[in-house]
A and B are shown apart, each in its own frame.
Chain A
Amino acid sequence: MARKILYQDAINEALDQEMARDENVVIMGEDVVGGMGTGGEMDAWGGVLGVTKGLYGKYGDRIMDSPISESALVGAAVGAAATGMRPVCELMFIDFMGVCFDQIYNQAAKFRYMFGGKATTPVVIRTMYGAGFRAAAQHSQCLYNIFTHVPGLKVVMPSTPYDAKGLLIQAIRDDDPVIFCEHKALYATEGDVPEESYVIPFGEANIVREGDDITIVALGRMVLYAGQVAEKLSTEGISCEIIDPRTTSPFDEDTVLESVENTGRLVIVDESSPRCNVATDISSLVAQKGFSTLKAPIEMVTAPHTPVPFSGALEDLYIPSPERIETAVRKVAAYGG
């Protein structure tokens, strides 16, 4: 466990090891080799941020650049999965799902159910989400909650390099369609990752930090911010437990409920816009099944209900910040006391 690598290299390693292990694993997407029309031999890009770099040289035609048509590439991947392949396709930005949503929610998500279990759809759709890159309203959203809403899809959002590798390998071996959501700001983060292959089961939340006073459930990049806040507040004697669900579908209800049973206080941090998001979903879960354990109202820290601003100053205000998380935690901690 001593080796530290980047989040994006952990994803690359998971793809590499699964392609080596199973010849049915193929990769398709826009620019995943070197850009449509190029030979790919130079392997110049490996995706817009270089995540698939180096794989073309090893696996040749098993990694394919697609035309700039998400409906075509996702549809082809879903169809290939139905025939027994294990495609990992890349929907470059989660914001682009609008043009291929029928392939995802009406086809991939429904095959196993509508064919009475006779068909499986082992497709993985890797996609980038999140604000903070000055990429404006059409390339910065957190739309994982829309996939979470759809029965038949599994939705994964790793917050560390260790989780990214283990969850992606699980996603590739899983027989159901998986939406694998990678926050842009996490690619350059570093962490311990074993060289061997391993899988992290879906629906198993990670208790990132143990604490007794307040439960913070945080998603994706927000796990890192929650960690900063917990560290700061620990010096004042406020003990925060941080839970990273890792997968929003399936969702590990028990870990959240058990934690709130112990702390009685809950803050949920979700970078997406505030209506019908994962935070409201978790909030309703705890209000329904853990009401008697609560000592304070549940607090949610989310983006405001607006498009992601193009203005840098406004975008910085848009993203839930450690300061806003800290304010929410203090408010919940002080309630009734």
Chain B
Amino acid sequence: MSEPQITPITMPKWGLSMVEGKVIEWLVEENSEIAVGDEIMDIETEKIANTFEALDGGTLRRKVANADETLGVGALLGVLASADTSEADIDGFITAFQANYVPPEVSEEGETGPAYEWIETADYKIRYLRMGEGDKNIVLIHGFGGDLDLWLFTQEPLAAKATVYALDLPGHGQSTKAVRDGSVTALAEIVVKFMDAVGIDHAHLVGHSLGGAVALQTALAHSGKVDALSLLAPASLGQSINGEYISGFIAAESRREIKPLLQQLVGDPGLVNRNFIDGILKFKRLDGVTEALTTIAAGFVDGNTQTVDLRDALAGLSISVRVIWGSADRIIPADHALELPANVAVDVLDGRGHLVMLEAASEVNKLLQS
């Protein structure tokens, strides 16, 4: 061993508004070897619980944070050090770290949330969030019943090297609720109108679920505007879909009704916390949402069957296309990722559910940037 090295493991910052996280449990033992990307801890945030994956490798010499403890972003969770580092050196490191640590304050910006903006088309007011300054443009398109906040673990990391836009589709989030035409084709036209309104000629489109179908349709109808496609558990690549989820989501009025449905969105149902459920219920209670969701669902689903099939058109695309799926997806089965044309890069993430960009944020972010 060369000279001893001590590396802190600190509370990650997942998304703009995160100032603290609660340790649910450690997933590794003291003195075990950790490799980069290993799952080391479950952490609960305001939005959803998530698994923290190691950013550095080494021997976990000390657990500093305990289960159920709520700590600020950047707080010391544990210490990685080589086996020959003395206990005294580790103690000294911890003492020095804690003496210098300043927890983030809940800023004014944190209280009022991110700086959302709006554009207006003939029929819709569309909310969006823009981050980053890079030359490349990325547009994030959420799925059925979602909103731009579902990209909270995605948008900021991508914004390090690109200008990243996340929008609320019509009928969703804080965009206009009254949906005239909920078809995938019509929603793709909204994406193009959105790109025109914010002044971008072309972009890498990242779409989740229904948003994946919308991204793909946009690329097919407007080939010059789409640089690349990343489709996360997309609709339109196969027939089957969990129709009970769709109809249940539209009909659900109470926490008791919606919780078991939302738990189907993730591989680990424990990740769905009270804040996540409350956020969905608050959206669903808004006037016009039930009608909007009904209209949009009718545009791509009939019972347990998808009515939009863009699978065959994939092979004709000359841009880079990547498909990412969670193997435990209970909404749209991951076998739709099988036997796709050779021009499509496919990654199926083991044990992850439908909300793959939340449940496997760092893996998905790496793939989106590769």
Contacts and interface: CB of A to CB of B under 8 A. Distances in A.
Contacts of A204: 253-255
A207 B285 contact: no
A118 to B, nearest CB: 27
Interface in B284-310: 285-287
B270 interface: no
A197 interface: yes
Contacts of B61: none
Contact of B274 (A1, A194, A210): A210
B282 A1 contact: yes
A194 B286 contact: yes
Nearest to B284: A198
Given A1-B113, A210-B274, A196 B255 contact: no
Contacts of B254: 201, 204
A194 B287 contact: no
Contacts of B113: 1-2
B287 A198 contact: yes
B95 interface: no
A207 B287 CA distance: 23
Nearest to A3: B112
A258 B321 CA distance: 47
A55 B112 CA distance: 28
B152 to A, nearest CB: 14
A194 B286 CA distance: 9
A332 B109 CA distance: 40
A198 B274 contact: no
A2 B112 contact: yes
Contacts of A201: 253-254
A201 B285 CA distance: 9
Contacts of A119: none
Contact of B256 (A200, A210, A254): A254
A197 B287 contact: yes
Contacts, number: 33
Interface residues of A, number: 16
B62 interface: no
Contacts of A200: 285
A198 B256 contact: no
Interface in A186-213: 194, 196-201, 204, 207, 210
Given A207-B274, A210-B274, A198 B253 contact: no
A207 B282 contact: no
A166 interface: yes
A199 B283 CA distance: 10
Contacts of A199: 285, 287
**Contact-residue size bin, chain B (C-beta under 8 Å from the other chain):** 10 to 19
Nearest to A194: B286
B208 interface: no
A198 B285 contact: yes
Contact of B286 (A2, A162, A196, A207): A196
B226 to A, nearest CB: 32
Interface in A158-205: 162, 166, 194, 196-201, 204
Contacts of B285: 166, 198-200
B177 A196 contact: yes
A159 to B, nearest CB: 15
A201 B257 CA distance: 13
A254 B282 CA distance: 21
Nearest to B115: A2
A198 B282 contact: yes
B334 to A, nearest CB: 32
A232 to B, nearest CB: 15
Interface in A103-161: none
Contacts of A210: 273-274
Interface string B248-291: 00000111100000000000000001100000001001110000
A200 B285 CA distance: 7
Contact of A194 (B253, B255, B256, B282): B282
Contacts of A2: 112-113, 116
Nearest to A200: B285
A162 B283 CA distance: 13
Contacts of A162: 282
A196 B255 CA distance: 21
A198 B177 CA distance: 12
Contacts of B286: 194, 196-198
Interface string B159-190: 00000000000000000010000000000000
Contacts of A207: 255, 274
Contacts of A198: 282, 285-287
B175 to A, nearest CB: 11
A197 B177 CA distance: 11
Contacts of A194: 282, 286
Residue from B113, B255, B285, B286 having most chain A Cβ neighbours under 10 A: B285
A162 B255 CA distance: 16
15 contacts: A1-B113, A1-B282, A2-B113, A162-B282, A194-B282, A194-B286, A196-B177, A196-B286, A196-B287, A198-B286, A199-B285, A199-B287, A201-B253, A204-B255, A207-B255
Name the 3 nearest CB pairs between A and B, nearest first: A198-B285, A2-B113, A197-B287
Interface of A: 1-2, 162, 166, 194, 196-201, 204, 207, 210, 254-255
Interface of B: 112-113, 116, 177, 253-256, 273-274, 282, 285-287
